[in-house]
Amino acid sequence: MSLPYVLTLVADRRNGPLAPEAIDVARSLVRGEKPIVLSPGEAVDIPCPPTVANAATIRATLAPYQTDALLIKTRGRRKAVLVADMDSTIVASETLDEMAAILGVGEDVAAITRASMNGELDFDTALEQRVALLKSQPASVLEDVWNATRLTDGARELVMTMRAHRARTALVSGGFTWFTQRVAELCGFDEHHGNHLGIDGNTLTGRLDGPILGPDAKLEHLHRIAAERGVQLKACLTTGDGANDIPMLREAGFGFAFHAKPNVRKVTDMQVNFASLRAHLFAQGYKAADFITQ
Protein backbone atom coordinates (compact mmCIF):
# COMPACT_ATOMS: atom_id res chain seq x y z
CA MET A 1 0.00 0.00 0.00
CA SER A 2 1.35 3.42 -0.94
CA LEU A 3 2.08 5.89 1.83
CA PRO A 4 -0.29 8.86 2.25
CA TYR A 5 2.37 11.56 1.96
CA VAL A 6 5.37 12.38 -0.15
CA LEU A 7 8.13 14.86 0.56
CA THR A 8 9.28 16.40 -2.71
CA LEU A 9 12.78 17.89 -2.71
CA VAL A 10 13.81 20.25 -5.49
CA ALA A 11 17.11 22.04 -6.03
CA ASP A 12 17.83 24.89 -8.41
CA ARG A 13 19.61 23.04 -11.21
CA ARG A 14 21.41 26.26 -12.21
CA ASN A 15 23.22 26.39 -8.84
CA GLY A 16 24.35 22.80 -8.60
CA PRO A 17 22.84 19.37 -8.01
CA LEU A 18 20.58 18.19 -5.23
CA ALA A 19 22.91 17.15 -2.40
CA PRO A 20 22.74 13.48 -1.34
CA GLU A 21 23.16 14.68 2.25
CA ALA A 22 19.99 16.77 1.88
CA ILE A 23 18.09 13.67 0.84
CA ASP A 24 19.43 11.71 3.80
CA VAL A 25 18.50 14.48 6.24
CA ALA A 26 15.01 14.73 4.77
CA ARG A 27 14.43 10.97 4.96
CA SER A 28 15.41 11.00 8.61
CA LEU A 29 13.05 13.89 9.36
CA VAL A 30 9.99 12.22 7.87
CA ARG A 31 10.87 8.53 8.32
CA GLY A 32 10.84 8.30 4.56
CA GLU A 33 11.32 5.42 2.19
CA LYS A 34 13.81 5.13 -0.67
CA PRO A 35 13.67 8.27 -2.83
CA ILE A 36 12.08 8.18 -6.27
CA VAL A 37 14.07 10.22 -8.78
CA LEU A 38 11.98 12.78 -10.67
CA SER A 39 14.94 14.50 -12.29
CA PRO A 40 18.53 13.32 -11.73
CA GLY A 41 20.40 15.77 -9.53
CA GLU A 42 17.36 18.06 -9.33
CA ALA A 43 14.29 16.52 -7.74
CA VAL A 44 13.16 13.45 -5.80
CA ASP A 45 10.05 12.17 -4.09
CA ILE A 46 10.38 10.62 -0.64
CA PRO A 47 7.26 8.59 0.24
CA CYS A 48 6.49 8.98 3.94
CA PRO A 49 3.82 8.37 6.59
CA PRO A 50 2.05 11.18 8.45
CA THR A 51 4.96 12.95 10.11
CA VAL A 52 5.45 14.84 13.34
CA ALA A 53 7.82 17.22 11.54
CA ASN A 54 5.81 20.16 10.22
CA ALA A 55 6.43 21.86 6.91
CA ALA A 56 8.18 24.86 8.47
CA THR A 57 10.64 22.66 10.35
CA ILE A 58 11.40 20.59 7.27
CA ARG A 59 11.85 23.70 5.15
CA ALA A 60 14.20 25.34 7.66
CA THR A 61 16.28 22.18 8.01
CA LEU A 62 16.75 21.85 4.25
CA ALA A 63 17.37 25.56 3.62
CA PRO A 64 21.16 25.37 4.19
CA TYR A 65 21.26 22.98 1.23
CA GLN A 66 19.32 25.51 -0.89
CA THR A 67 16.69 22.87 -1.38
CA ASP A 68 12.94 23.36 -1.45
CA ALA A 69 10.93 20.81 0.54
CA LEU A 70 7.24 20.30 -0.20
CA LEU A 71 5.19 17.97 2.01
CA ILE A 72 2.26 16.74 -0.07
CA LYS A 73 -0.66 14.34 0.23
CA THR A 74 -0.38 11.75 -2.50
CA ARG A 75 -4.13 11.64 -3.16
CA GLY A 76 -5.32 14.26 -5.63
CA ARG A 77 -1.80 15.39 -6.28
CA ARG A 78 -2.18 16.39 -9.92
CA LYS A 79 -4.18 19.54 -10.45
CA ALA A 80 -6.76 20.40 -13.09
CA VAL A 81 -6.44 24.19 -12.98
CA LEU A 82 -3.44 26.53 -13.02
CA VAL A 83 -3.87 30.22 -12.15
CA ALA A 84 -0.58 32.11 -12.23
CA ASP A 85 0.57 35.63 -11.44
CA MET A 86 2.75 37.25 -14.11
CA ASP A 87 5.33 39.72 -12.72
CA SER A 88 8.17 38.08 -10.77
CA THR A 89 6.43 34.75 -11.28
CA ILE A 90 5.91 33.76 -14.91
CA VAL A 91 8.25 36.54 -16.01
CA ALA A 92 11.40 37.36 -14.09
CA SER A 93 10.78 41.11 -13.77
CA GLU A 94 8.18 43.64 -12.62
CA THR A 95 7.02 45.14 -15.91
CA LEU A 96 5.59 48.32 -14.39
CA ASP A 97 8.81 48.97 -12.48
CA GLU A 98 10.80 48.41 -15.68
CA MET A 99 8.63 50.94 -17.53
CA ALA A 100 9.14 53.48 -14.76
CA ALA A 101 12.90 52.98 -14.72
CA ILE A 102 13.16 53.72 -18.43
CA LEU A 103 10.98 56.80 -18.03
CA GLY A 104 13.01 58.18 -15.12
CA VAL A 105 10.47 57.66 -12.34
CA GLY A 106 11.76 54.25 -11.30
CA GLU A 107 12.55 54.98 -7.66
CA ASP A 108 9.14 56.53 -6.99
CA VAL A 109 7.24 53.66 -8.61
CA ALA A 110 9.42 50.95 -7.06
CA ALA A 111 8.80 52.33 -3.58
CA ILE A 112 5.05 52.14 -4.10
CA THR A 113 5.38 48.63 -5.57
CA ARG A 114 7.29 47.39 -2.54
CA ALA A 115 4.71 48.83 -0.16
CA SER A 116 1.90 47.19 -2.11
CA MET A 117 3.54 43.78 -2.49
CA ASN A 118 4.38 43.76 1.22
CA GLY A 119 0.78 44.53 2.09
CA GLU A 120 1.58 47.99 3.46
CA LEU A 121 -0.57 49.84 0.93
CA ASP A 122 -3.96 49.05 -0.59
CA PHE A 123 -3.42 47.45 -4.01
CA ASP A 124 -5.90 49.61 -5.91
CA THR A 125 -4.52 52.84 -4.50
CA ALA A 126 -0.94 51.77 -5.12
CA LEU A 127 -1.64 50.87 -8.73
CA GLU A 128 -3.42 54.13 -9.44
CA GLN A 129 -0.57 56.11 -7.89
CA ARG A 130 2.03 54.28 -9.94
CA VAL A 131 0.15 54.60 -13.21
CA ALA A 132 -0.41 58.33 -12.59
CA LEU A 133 3.37 58.80 -12.58
CA LEU A 134 3.43 57.62 -16.21
CA LYS A 135 1.10 60.35 -17.49
CA SER A 136 2.09 61.96 -20.81
CA GLN A 137 4.97 59.54 -21.31
CA PRO A 138 5.50 57.82 -24.71
CA ALA A 139 3.71 54.50 -25.14
CA SER A 140 6.75 53.19 -27.02
CA VAL A 141 8.17 52.30 -23.60
CA LEU A 142 5.94 49.22 -23.66
CA GLU A 143 7.88 47.75 -26.57
CA ASP A 144 11.17 48.61 -24.89
CA VAL A 145 10.15 46.72 -21.75
CA TRP A 146 8.77 43.78 -23.70
CA ASN A 147 12.04 43.37 -25.61
CA ALA A 148 13.88 43.09 -22.28
CA THR A 149 11.34 40.78 -20.57
CA ARG A 150 12.35 37.16 -19.98
CA LEU A 151 10.32 34.18 -18.92
CA THR A 152 11.17 32.60 -15.58
CA ASP A 153 12.91 29.24 -15.90
CA GLY A 154 10.28 26.53 -16.27
CA ALA A 155 7.36 28.83 -17.15
CA ARG A 156 6.56 27.33 -20.52
CA GLU A 157 7.18 23.79 -19.26
CA LEU A 158 4.71 24.34 -16.42
CA VAL A 159 1.94 25.64 -18.65
CA MET A 160 2.37 23.25 -21.57
CA THR A 161 2.75 20.15 -19.40
CA MET A 162 -0.39 20.91 -17.40
CA ARG A 163 -2.33 21.71 -20.56
CA ALA A 164 -1.23 18.41 -22.07
CA HIS A 165 -2.89 16.72 -19.09
CA ARG A 166 -6.16 18.62 -19.64
CA ALA A 167 -5.62 21.34 -17.05
CA ARG A 168 -7.12 24.77 -17.67
CA THR A 169 -4.43 27.44 -17.47
CA ALA A 170 -4.85 31.16 -16.81
CA LEU A 171 -2.48 34.09 -16.42
CA VAL A 172 -4.13 36.53 -13.99
CA SER A 173 -2.10 39.64 -13.27
CA GLY A 174 -2.30 42.94 -11.47
CA GLY A 175 -0.14 44.16 -14.34
CA PHE A 176 -1.27 45.20 -17.80
CA THR A 177 -3.06 43.28 -20.55
CA TRP A 178 -0.55 44.72 -23.04
CA PHE A 179 1.96 42.34 -21.44
CA THR A 180 -0.32 39.48 -20.33
CA GLN A 181 -1.47 38.93 -23.91
CA ARG A 182 2.09 38.51 -25.13
CA VAL A 183 3.20 36.36 -22.19
CA ALA A 184 0.12 34.15 -22.50
CA GLU A 185 0.84 33.56 -26.19
CA LEU A 186 4.49 32.81 -25.50
CA CYS A 187 3.75 30.29 -22.73
CA GLY A 188 0.55 28.79 -24.12
CA PHE A 189 -1.96 29.89 -21.45
CA ASP A 190 -5.60 29.24 -22.28
CA GLU A 191 -6.61 32.71 -21.10
CA HIS A 192 -5.17 35.88 -19.64
CA HIS A 193 -6.45 38.78 -17.56
CA GLY A 194 -4.94 42.04 -16.34
CA ASN A 195 -5.48 45.77 -16.07
CA HIS A 196 -6.07 47.94 -19.13
CA LEU A 197 -3.49 50.69 -19.36
CA GLY A 198 -4.84 53.95 -20.77
CA ILE A 199 -3.20 54.93 -24.06
CA ASP A 200 -4.20 57.91 -26.19
CA GLY A 201 -2.53 57.63 -29.56
CA ASN A 202 1.15 57.26 -28.74
CA THR A 203 0.92 58.59 -25.19
CA LEU A 204 0.17 57.04 -21.80
CA THR A 205 -2.80 58.75 -20.13
CA GLY A 206 -1.75 58.04 -16.54
CA ARG A 207 -5.06 56.23 -15.97
CA LEU A 208 -6.50 52.74 -16.18
CA ASP A 209 -9.39 51.92 -18.49
CA GLY A 210 -11.98 49.82 -16.67
CA PRO A 211 -12.08 48.26 -13.20
CA ILE A 212 -8.90 47.35 -11.38
CA LEU A 213 -7.91 43.70 -11.28
CA GLY A 214 -6.68 43.24 -7.71
CA PRO A 215 -6.56 40.42 -5.16
CA ASP A 216 -10.34 39.91 -5.01
CA ALA A 217 -10.58 39.69 -8.79
CA LYS A 218 -7.78 37.12 -8.88
CA LEU A 219 -9.74 35.00 -6.44
CA GLU A 220 -12.92 35.44 -8.48
CA HIS A 221 -11.14 34.18 -11.59
CA LEU A 222 -9.93 31.14 -9.64
CA HIS A 223 -13.49 30.33 -8.54
CA ARG A 224 -14.86 30.88 -12.05
CA ILE A 225 -12.27 28.74 -13.79
CA ALA A 226 -12.65 25.89 -11.28
CA ALA A 227 -16.43 25.95 -11.80
CA GLU A 228 -16.07 25.97 -15.59
CA ARG A 229 -13.59 23.11 -15.41
CA GLY A 230 -15.99 21.26 -13.08
CA VAL A 231 -13.56 20.78 -10.19
CA GLN A 232 -13.28 21.85 -6.57
CA LEU A 233 -10.70 24.39 -5.42
CA LYS A 234 -8.58 21.60 -3.97
CA ALA A 235 -7.96 20.49 -7.56
CA CYS A 236 -6.42 23.87 -8.41
CA LEU A 237 -2.85 25.19 -8.33
CA THR A 238 -2.09 28.88 -7.91
CA THR A 239 1.26 30.61 -7.80
CA GLY A 240 2.46 34.14 -7.09
CA ASP A 241 4.84 36.30 -5.12
CA GLY A 242 2.95 39.34 -3.82
CA ALA A 243 0.31 40.36 -1.33
CA ASN A 244 -2.32 40.60 -4.07
CA ASP A 245 -1.88 36.85 -4.64
CA ILE A 246 -2.63 35.83 -1.06
CA PRO A 247 -6.40 35.22 -1.42
CA MET A 248 -5.98 32.83 -4.33
CA LEU A 249 -2.99 31.11 -2.72
CA ARG A 250 -4.98 30.44 0.45
CA GLU A 251 -7.94 28.83 -1.30
CA ALA A 252 -6.28 26.60 -3.88
CA GLY A 253 -5.32 23.02 -3.20
CA PHE A 254 -1.74 23.98 -4.02
CA GLY A 255 -1.01 27.67 -3.38
CA PHE A 256 2.66 28.30 -4.12
CA ALA A 257 4.52 31.29 -2.72
CA PHE A 258 7.11 31.53 -5.48
CA HIS A 259 10.26 33.42 -4.42
CA ALA A 260 7.72 35.48 -2.54
CA LYS A 261 7.66 38.47 -0.24
CA PRO A 262 7.91 37.70 3.52
CA ASN A 263 4.25 38.43 4.21
CA VAL A 264 3.23 35.96 1.50
CA ARG A 265 5.48 33.20 2.85
CA LYS A 266 3.76 33.57 6.22
CA VAL A 267 0.41 32.39 4.87
CA THR A 268 1.36 29.23 2.98
CA ASP A 269 3.51 26.16 3.58
CA MET A 270 3.79 25.60 -0.18
CA GLN A 271 6.94 27.60 -0.80
CA VAL A 272 9.45 27.58 -3.63
CA ASN A 273 12.32 29.72 -2.40
CA PHE A 274 15.26 28.31 -4.36
CA ALA A 275 14.16 26.30 -7.38
CA SER A 276 12.48 27.30 -10.63
CA LEU A 277 8.86 26.95 -11.71
CA ARG A 278 9.67 23.34 -12.57
CA ALA A 279 9.12 22.65 -8.86
CA HIS A 280 5.38 23.10 -9.43
CA LEU A 281 5.42 20.12 -11.76
CA PHE A 282 7.59 17.97 -9.50
CA ALA A 283 5.15 18.71 -6.66
CA GLN A 284 2.44 17.13 -8.79
CA GLY A 285 4.53 14.02 -9.35
CA TYR A 286 5.60 14.74 -12.91
CA LYS A 287 9.05 13.54 -13.91
CA ALA A 288 11.32 15.76 -15.98
CA ALA A 289 11.08 13.27 -18.82
CA ASP A 290 7.33 14.02 -18.95
CA PHE A 291 7.73 17.79 -19.29
CA ILE A 292 6.51 19.41 -22.50
CA THR A 293 8.07 22.55 -23.91
CA GLN A 294 6.73 22.61 -27.50
Give φ, ψ of 79 to 5 degrees.
Answer: -105, 150
CA dist 91 and 143 (Å) reads: 15
CA dist 257 and 56 (Å) reads: 13
Q: Mark whether 200 is an active-site residue.
A: no
CA dist 90 and 266 (Å) reads: 21
Q: Mark whether 85 is an active-site residue.
A: yes
Judge whether 130 and 197 are in contact, CB under 8 Å: no
- In the set 12, 45, 68, 87, the catalytic residue is 87
Judge whether 10 and 70 are in contact, CB under 8 Å: yes
CA dist 110 and 112 (Å) reads: 5
Q: Give the torsion through C-alpha atoms of 242, 42, 236, 1, to 10 deg.
A: -140
Judge whether 241 and 88 are in contact, CB under 8 Å: yes
End-to-end CA distance of the chain: 36
CA dist 106 and 97 (Å) reads: 6
19: amino acid identity, one letter: A
- In the set 12, 68, 85, 245, the catalytic residue is 85
Q: Cβ–Cβ contacts within 10 Å for residue 216, how many? A: 14
Catalytic residues: 85, 87
